[in-house]
Amino acid sequence: MRHALEYVNYMIRLYTRNCEKQQRNFRREVDQRNFETVQRVLNDLSEWDKNVIIEVYRRGDTLPDNIYWVAKELKVEQDMIWTLVSKVTKRIAKERGLI
């Protein structure tokens, strides 16, 4: 399961780096499917939750460091963001058939 969740982290990073682009030319069909899966799951979240996930994964540092800084900037507990990340990654993994 750990590898599946690592792959989901890759999928979310791919999404956050491409979600604002008008043209998305993925070299592989699997990347297009991954993008669409992440988009579908994030669109079911509240706007605040979606923005937190995007901000965490858009940053170029490690996931723990990104969560630390986003929590600090938003003045929320890190545990809240960790819980959100955990729920979202598991849901994406299930939707994509990875777990």
Q: What is the pLDDT of residue 9?
A: 95
For residue range 25-72, list pLDDT tens digits in order: 888 999 999 999 999 999 999 999 999 999 999 998 999 999 999 999
**Amino acid sitting at position 41:** V
Domain spans, the chain: 2-95
